[in-house]
Structure 1
């Protein structure tokens, strides 16, 4: 364990103790929580397994979200950190959590072309036809970004390939457009 992880462990312990015991200083727990959230999100972006493990071991809420609604799992998936995604999923992070735009970690993984991460997220107990705030589904993202492997996997998992988004686009019309067809 590195000095950084030990320091983070101490800070986590302090934050938990202050949050539980010190109701007289309500600003202190919020400030500490905000600092801890920053460390959690930075570790997820960087795929820092050691720091993420410290959060898991401390029982920290892994589903905390930043101002945009991003959780550690969304950030790890988007940034392509497969081991971090696996750690967070195994520790109970919510794979179905959506950010402020309604996008989940799966949609981020599809966007970035992270096939193995997308497959790990598809194995989670989330609806295969989750819609973001534009009415787009994972299958629509797979079609748009020409992730045919993922589209086949979604089809096998029962995704509705006939769904239409808020703009009237279907998986098929998006795939044609993405391929440059009229």
Structure 2
């Protein structure tokens, strides 16, 4: 099994063994441009994310689309991983190639708890994506009343 497949499948022992043998794997993106940390968080693999962070991977590294691990997990909805990334200094205001931020992803996908965590960590409610939409605009478009109240 390769390194990235081990991440997807939650094979922590395999990831550790491969990373120990070839440390460059920790920062090398896969064929689709995902960094190991982005892939781990997107795949809900918190133990692998913890391991990668303990090995000093950049919590704010971006994938081929300009997404950070924090953005991916805000889309997927795992608050525990969001807290882990925030504890390791994840920047809540990075924007990807489409201008989306972690807060925009959280609101677009109805993640109220995560939106609160991001706001508490200093997420800028005024950031706009490339279409001129803020997190509030996305919440309104999706009829997410709890998020609208939180962001208004």
Shorter-chain TM-score category? Answer: 0.7 to 0.9
Q: Which residue of 2 aligns with 1:153?
A: 117
Asked if 1 retains the 8 angstrom alpha-carbon contact of 2:7 and 2:36, the reply is yes
Correspondence 1:58 to 2:21: yes
Q: Which has the higher contact order (CA 8 A, sep 6+)?
A: 2
C-alpha distance in 1, partners of 2:100/2:115? 14
Count of matched residue pairs: 144
Correspondence 1:101 to 2:65: yes
Summarize deviations over 1:33-71 as a string: whole Å, max 9, x none: xxxxx7111111111010111133335120101232212
Q: Give TM-score scaled by structure 1 length.
A: 0.74
Correspondence 1:71 to 2:35: yes
Structure 1 residue 123 displacement after superposition: 2.1
RMSD over aligned Cα atoms? 1.6
Q: Give TM-score scaled by structure 2 length.
A: 0.87
C-alpha distance in 1, partners of 2:61/2:96? 11
Summarize the Cα distance change of 1:167–1:92 in structure 2 as closer, same or farther, 3 Å threshold: same
Residue of structure 1 aligned with 2:95, choices 122, 126, 131: 131
Asked if 2 retains the 8 angstrom alpha-carbon contact of 1:41 and 1:71, the reply is no
Asked if 1 retains the 8 angstrom alpha-carbon contact of 2:38 and 2:72, the reply is yes
C-alpha distance in 2, partners of 1:133/1:67? 19
Larger Rg: 1
C-alpha distance in 1, partners of 2:50/2:75? 19
Unpaired runs of at least 5, structure 2: 146-152
The list of structure 1 runs, each at least 4 consecutive aligned residues, that deviate by more than 4 angstroms after superposition, is none
C-alpha distance in 1, partners of 2:54/2:81? 13
C-alpha distance in 2, partners of 1:105/1:131? 12
